[in-house]
Amino acid sequence: MSTEAASVPAYAQGANTPALLECTIGQALAQTAERFADREALVVPHQGVRWSWSELLHRTDALAAGLLALGLQGAQLRRVDADAVRHRARRPDPGQHQPGLPRQ
Condensed to tens digits (0 to 9), the pLDDT of residues 4-16 reads 555 665 666 667 7
- Would residue 14 count as lying in a domain? no
- Would residue 36 count as lying in a domain? yes
User: Is the Cβ–Cβ distance between 65 and 52 less than 8 Å?
Assistant: no
- Would residue 99 count as lying in a domain? no
- 61: enclosing H helix or E strand: helix 53-69
pLDDT recorded at residue 39: 97
**22-66 per-position pLDDT tens digit:** 888 889 999 999 999 999 999 999 999 999 999 999 999 998 888
Average pLDDT of span 69-81: 76
**pTM recorded for the entire structure:** 0.59
Q: How many structural domains is the chain composed of?
A: 1
- Would residue 54 count as lying in a domain? yes
- Would residue 2 count as lying in a domain? no
Q: Residue 77: which CATH number?
A: 3.40.50.980
d(CA 92, CA 53): 28
Q: Quote the mean pLDDT of the chain.
A: 77
Residue numbers of the domain that contains 59 = 23-88
- Would residue 10 count as lying in a domain? no
